[in-house]
Chain A
Amino acid sequence: MLVAGVDVGSTQTKAVVMDGEPKVVGRSLIETGARLTEAAQEAFSLAVVDAGAEERDVASVVGTGYGRYRVEFGETQVTEISCHARGAVFLFPNTTSVLDVGGQDTKAIRVGGDGQVLDFCMNDKCSAGTGRFLGAASQALELPLGDLGPLALTAKNPVKMTTTCTVFAESEILGWLALGRKMEDVLLGVHVAIASRSVSLLRRVGIEPEITFTGGVSRNAAMVKLLEELTDCPINVSEESHYCGAIGASLYALDRALTRAAAGASGGVLP
């Protein structure tokens, strides 16, 4: 049995195909762009190809992410909060707290042993202190996004950013450079600002080990190191962390497919 989860995020769309074991057997990641339905379909098709399967082999698809209602071929939609919680516990079964820093929002989630959401907090509707902030830094410094973390880790004397506002990020970064500060010091300052804000959100739901870091920003080594320092806890990061929402969605899809197979009806805890 194959199932799939499609996570239509603000920046990137991720799709995962999972077998009944459950194990991830196919994945894809593309830029979301402006056409959400097409992005969802394309990501799904690519993940199915990656799994060496055909779309008709997939018994159930669940959409998640801010564009989840555009996964029109999906059976249902589940929010990314529930999906990241479920996916994090799948990747790291002892997870109690999840931090998901995505393109335009940050979520702190406290989870139960079965991936149930016990509590969650999100940033305000503005994108201050989210992945978008790193995107603004990348543009201002004319550096690829993937270089930001490694370069920040070489810093010795980080600047103290006064804002996490994405709109003001560029002017502040340029201001520090104009004062003669090194690029890596500015970058580390940017990372500290985001990490501090993320940890204060995490405190709202309670910081307890194990903490699992998910979302696109979890691939940034500087962020992982700073979060470990600020929480005084090791941070779980998986190669699959970026796909965590899609993994959670595919687990919900698997619930539905198994329930249907067992009872001849759609089911699962969530609608």
Chain B
Amino acid sequence: MAEQKVAERKRPGDGAAPHSELIGATRAESRGLIETWWQEMSEADAEGRPVANVFVMGSIAEILRCFDLPMSFPEITSLQTAVRGKQMEMLVAAEDYGYSPDICGYVKVDVGLHLTGRNHPSGKLPRPALVVSPNTCNTYIKWSEIWERMYGCPVFVLDLPGWRGTGGSVLPGSEEFERDRRYVEGQLRELIALCERITGKTLDLDRLREVMGEVNALAGLYDEVVAENKHHPAPFDAMLDGLNYMGIANAYRGDSRGTAFMRLARDELRERVRLGMGAIPDEKYRLLLIGTACYSHFRRFLELFHSWGGVFAHSEYMSFAGGGIDRGIRYELERPIESMAEQILWSAQQSFSGIFFSQDWQARIVREWDIDGICFHGIKSCRTVSTGLPDEREWQMRTNDIPGLFIQSDLVDARLWSDAQMKNRIDAFFEALASRKAAARR
């Protein structure tokens, strides 16, 4: 029987057997995978093996995995530090060292961790042997320079063009896109050469195809996971379980364990839909979140919405911080590096545009996921994701009659959280939504 269950877990959803055991399985699996990831980090540090520091918006895991380079995601480790309530001592350590309170909270928590011996609440943070820094966030490059100064490690900056401020993205098939693609392909080949130098290994193209095949599968499953939340009630909260999906999608990108996890998540969600199980007990309002949560007050942040019956059916976060996998990545394995350049370029452009031209994306999500209102959460220490949010809120209200709430705090800095003021604004938003629903019923 135990073996049968394991088989079901490996290929859930394929059999007709009841899948009640699926309920809760994803969270358990996620905990296990994160523990394993930390174990690998700690072991790499203890053994002095090279580790790459990478970012969620363009990790290039496909190449790094072929060289057996473990990947550390400082955004994820900073987030985890805040959820574990250890972020303030790191922030203070970084500020004592000279970093301004205005600087990205993730950066300062990470700097604090490095300054205080790299002792993360979940394990030992390794020192980087290589940094891969895409230009998908303007802070990434400055952040990478900090490690470069601390450890003397090489920083590979991946310059992804496509910021077409006034005209949107350059479309695949156009001459401009092909030029951009060749430019990115050239950089990927330089990264491969750098990895070969650091590890002493040669790129195995068959391994690369295998990894890229896993990413294809992961991306397809991730899309299916996100789409399950179109159901009523939404089977997961995009800011709670969604965070797990996103975290694993990044940390295990191109790894069969990540693909298996996403399949399990999809199957659990399907089972929850079948059983009519919502993410919260009594769903009344379906919300879209623009921005991130406040991780120093993560439980409270969610509680302020859940207590009104509000569930985050979708979030922009699951899109732009998912490494672009929701943007339809489908690698052509017979021409791996060319295809990788094309897809990374395309997903990066889409993600950039997602931030700067997000109104159409938001309106589509509101329609397809049957959203009642949008919560715009401005992050005090991140202008990149916060710029323009009040304008977007106003635009959605005026143009599409979509109610919007604008609140402000931070990613991780507890000093920027004001509970009474957050609650007041959130309560007022739900009161307005309640009146609106009541008016629609009359």
Contacts and interface: CB of A to CB of B under 8 A. Distances in A.
B438 A118 contact: no
Contact of A79 (B397, B406, B428): B428
B434 A122 contact: no
Given A66-B420, A112-B439, A82 B428 contact: yes
B421 A81 contact: no
Contacts of B406: 121
A257 to B, nearest CB: 18
Interface residues of A, number: 24
Interface string A98-119: 0000000100000010101111
Interface in B410-442: 418, 420-421, 424-425, 427-428, 431-432, 434-436, 438-439
A243 interface: no
Contacts of A125: 408, 418, 421
Nearest to A271: B434
A117 B435 contact: yes
A121 B397 CA distance: 12
A129 to B, nearest CB: 15
Contact of A116 (B418, B421, B432): B432
B338 interface: no
Question: Which applies to chain B's interface (DSSP): helix, strand, loop or mixed?
Answer: helix
A269 B434 contact: yes
A57 interface: no
Contacts of A205: 394, 397
Contacts of B398: 206
B390 A120 contact: no
Contacts of A105: 421
A125 B425 CA distance: 11
Nearest to B439: A116
B403 interface: yes
A251 to B, nearest CB: 13
A66 B424 CA distance: 7
A116 B435 contact: yes
Contacts of A119: 397, 403-404, 432
Interface string B369-409: 00000000000000000000010001001100001101010
Given A117-B431, A206-B398, A122 B438 contact: no
B431 A270 contact: yes
A24 B405 CA distance: 32
B428 A120 contact: yes
Interface string A47-80: 0000000000000000000100000000000111
A270 B435 contact: yes
Contacts of A82: 428, 431-432, 435
Contacts of B425: 122
Nearest to B390: A204
Given A116-B439, A125-B418, A125-B421, A81 B394 contact: no
Given A112-B435, A114-B439, 8 more contacts: A82-B431, A117-B431, A118-B432, A125-B408, A125-B421, A205-B394, A205-B397, A269-B434
11 contacts: A81-B428, A81-B431, A82-B431, A82-B432, A112-B435, A112-B439, A116-B432, A119-B432, A122-B424, A124-B408, A269-B434
4 tightest A-B CB contacts, nearest first:
A81-B428, A117-B432, A79-B428, A116-B435
